[in-house]
Amino acid sequence: MAAYDDRDGKIWADGTLVDWRDAKVHVLTHALHYASSVFEGERCYNGKIFKSDEHSARLLRSGELLDMTIPYTVDEINAAKRAVLDANGWDNAYVRVVAFRGAGEDMGVSSSRNPVRMFVTAWEWGNYYGDAKTKGAKLDISKWKRPSPETIPTAAKAAGLYMICTMSKHAAEAKGCSDALFFDYRGYVAEATGANVFFVKDGEVHTPIPDAILNGLTRQTVIGMLKDMGVTVHERHIMPEEMEGFEQCWLTGSAAEVTPVGQIGDYTFEVGKLTLDVASAYEKLVRS
């Protein structure tokens, strides 16, 4: 594939569809210097974006948490996503919406006088973790910790929160891993760099409480599916040493979908029946 800035197609930029290569911002864009940016990652299946309304609403909430009012409604954001997919002729694609403080009168920490801009892009994308989708991903354990909600708005899907994700994923890939698992500031199991984590023991599911991490929309969907299947789900604080006793593990996210995990650090897991059943059920749901 060509570099992401050198492709054919259309991108929605502040209300207008522009040629892909013309979707640019100035070097003094506030978000580039101070991470005043929020985004959503979504999947379109068979022409329909899964949970489009919920993603658009979360984008607006993320903006508010960063003291950045995004000047569009949920319906207008949805229409922009639809316009991008139609303009590029895609029925199955990954959709990325990003809203950010642009260049303006302010060029310092304060940016209240700068416009809030929004771009909508999309591209055709396969499995986020490649063949790990069937074989089970291998995860490193990051040296970084997810921060306290008292230090940063952890409920926002904000660009700045992903700085340690990039560093952790680079370190993991250098070790031959697909991703990295974070602990939080208290030492509890938290999440992967862009996905929530689930564990299985004795037929029941355990997953971290999202009190210092993003409560992913895919996470919420999968919990609902499990309860409909009659599976007990424990949302709780999980200590790292508990991973030794878990039998199965998977990750969830809009990009990751439902991806089995075979190893985290020195802990190993089987790609078992419940994991495969959940992955299959999720696949059916998003394409229904």
For the annotated catalytic residues, the residue numbers are 157
DSSP H or E segment with residue 96:
strand 93-101
Classify residue 271 by its DSSP letter: -
CB 63 within 8 A of CB 37: no
Please tell me the distance from the alpha carbon of residue 103 to that of residue 143, in angstroms, as a whole number. Answer: 35
Type of residue numbered 264: I
Give the three-state DSSP class for 49.
strand
52-65 vs 74-88: helix axis angle to the nearest 10?
A: 120
Taking each continuous run of H as one helix and of E as one strand, the counts in the chain are 7, 15
The radius of gyration computed from the CA coordinates of the chain, to the nearest angstrom, equals 19
Type of residue numbered 142: S
